Amino acid sequence: MGTGQKSNSYLVKAAGPALDKFKYEIANELNIDLSKVQGGYWGYMATRDTGAIGGNMVRRMIEAAERTLAEQTIADVKAGFQAGLQSQPQVSQNNQFKF
Protein backbone atom coordinates (compact mmCIF):
# COMPACT_ATOMS: atom_id res chain seq x y z
CA MET A 1 0.00 0.00 0.00
CA GLY A 2 2.76 2.40 -0.83
CA THR A 3 0.41 4.64 -2.85
CA GLY A 4 -0.59 6.73 0.16
CA GLN A 5 -4.23 5.75 -0.25
CA LYS A 6 -6.18 4.36 2.68
CA SER A 7 -7.19 0.74 2.24
CA ASN A 8 -10.81 1.47 3.12
CA SER A 9 -11.34 4.36 0.70
CA TYR A 10 -14.08 4.10 -1.93
CA LEU A 11 -13.21 3.56 -5.56
CA VAL A 12 -16.41 5.41 -6.47
CA LYS A 13 -16.76 8.38 -4.14
CA ALA A 14 -20.52 8.70 -4.74
CA ALA A 15 -21.03 5.16 -3.41
CA GLY A 16 -19.99 6.14 0.12
CA PRO A 17 -23.34 7.47 1.38
CA ALA A 18 -25.26 4.59 -0.23
CA LEU A 19 -22.97 1.99 1.35
CA ASP A 20 -23.25 3.69 4.75
CA LYS A 21 -27.05 3.64 4.49
CA PHE A 22 -26.88 0.00 3.41
CA LYS A 23 -24.68 -0.80 6.43
CA TYR A 24 -27.24 0.67 8.84
CA GLU A 25 -30.11 -1.16 7.09
CA ILE A 26 -28.33 -4.50 7.43
CA ALA A 27 -27.50 -3.80 11.09
CA ASN A 28 -31.17 -3.04 11.81
CA GLU A 29 -32.31 -6.19 10.01
CA LEU A 30 -29.88 -8.24 12.11
CA ASN A 31 -31.12 -6.51 15.29
CA ILE A 32 -27.62 -5.31 16.13
CA ASP A 33 -27.46 -2.58 18.78
CA LEU A 34 -25.98 0.52 17.16
CA SER A 35 -25.75 2.59 20.35
CA LYS A 36 -21.95 2.14 20.39
CA VAL A 37 -21.54 3.73 16.94
CA GLN A 38 -20.44 7.31 17.58
CA GLY A 39 -20.22 9.79 14.72
CA GLY A 40 -19.78 7.05 12.14
CA TYR A 41 -17.01 5.38 14.16
CA TRP A 42 -17.67 1.67 14.53
CA GLY A 43 -14.54 0.87 16.54
CA TYR A 44 -16.45 0.33 19.78
CA MET A 45 -18.64 -2.38 18.20
CA ALA A 46 -17.95 -6.06 18.74
CA THR A 47 -15.98 -7.63 15.92
CA ARG A 48 -18.60 -10.35 15.62
CA ASP A 49 -21.33 -7.77 14.98
CA THR A 50 -19.37 -5.73 12.45
CA GLY A 51 -18.30 -8.93 10.70
CA ALA A 52 -21.91 -10.05 10.46
CA ILE A 53 -22.91 -6.71 8.98
CA GLY A 54 -20.08 -6.73 6.44
CA GLY A 55 -20.65 -10.36 5.54
CA ASN A 56 -24.34 -9.79 4.91
CA MET A 57 -23.57 -6.70 2.85
CA VAL A 58 -21.20 -8.69 0.64
CA ARG A 59 -23.67 -11.58 0.34
CA ARG A 60 -26.43 -9.20 -0.82
CA MET A 61 -24.14 -7.40 -3.27
CA ILE A 62 -23.08 -10.73 -4.79
CA GLU A 63 -26.72 -11.80 -5.09
CA ALA A 64 -27.54 -8.52 -6.85
CA ALA A 65 -24.60 -8.92 -9.24
CA GLU A 66 -25.58 -12.53 -10.01
CA ARG A 67 -29.17 -11.47 -10.65
CA THR A 68 -27.98 -8.69 -12.99
CA LEU A 69 -25.70 -11.07 -14.89
CA ALA A 70 -28.49 -13.64 -15.23
CA GLU A 71 -30.94 -11.02 -16.50
CA GLN A 72 -28.36 -9.71 -18.99
CA THR A 73 -27.61 -13.24 -20.20
CA ILE A 74 -31.32 -13.96 -20.70
CA ALA A 75 -31.72 -10.70 -22.63
CA ASP A 76 -28.70 -11.57 -24.81
CA VAL A 77 -30.04 -15.07 -25.52
CA LYS A 78 -33.46 -13.68 -26.44
CA ALA A 79 -31.89 -11.10 -28.75
CA GLY A 80 -29.71 -13.75 -30.37
CA PHE A 81 -32.65 -16.09 -30.81
CA GLN A 82 -34.77 -13.36 -32.38
CA ALA A 83 -31.92 -12.35 -34.69
CA GLY A 84 -31.52 -16.00 -35.67
CA LEU A 85 -35.21 -16.29 -36.49
CA GLN A 86 -35.08 -13.19 -38.65
CA SER A 87 -32.14 -14.49 -40.67
CA GLN A 88 -33.56 -17.95 -41.38
CA PRO A 89 -32.63 -19.23 -44.85
CA GLN A 90 -35.48 -19.29 -47.33
CA VAL A 91 -36.16 -22.27 -49.57
CA SER A 92 -36.70 -21.42 -53.23
CA GLN A 93 -38.98 -23.19 -55.64
CA ASN A 94 -36.23 -25.63 -56.65
CA ASN A 95 -35.42 -26.54 -52.99
CA GLN A 96 -32.17 -24.59 -52.87
CA PHE A 97 -31.37 -22.49 -49.79
CA LYS A 98 -30.94 -18.75 -50.20
CA PHE A 99 -29.16 -16.68 -47.57
> Is the distance from CB of 20 to CB of 40 less than 8 angstroms?
yes
Domain boundaries, the chain: 15-84
pLDDT for res 97: 55
> Measured between alpha carbons, how far is residue 13 from residues 6, 17, 26, 77 in Å?
13, 9, 21, 34
**Average pLDDT in the chain:** 85
DSSP 33: -
pLDDT for res 93: 62
Q: Give per-residue pLDDT as tens, 9-44.
A: 888 989 999 999 999 999 999 999 999 999 889 999
Give the confidence band of 94 by pLDDT, cuts at 50, 70, 90. Answer: low
Rounded distance, CA 56 to CA 68, Å?
Answer: 18
pLDDT for res 65: 96
Q: How far is CA 5 from the centre of its chain?
A: 24
Q: Is the pLDDT of residue 78 over 90?
A: no
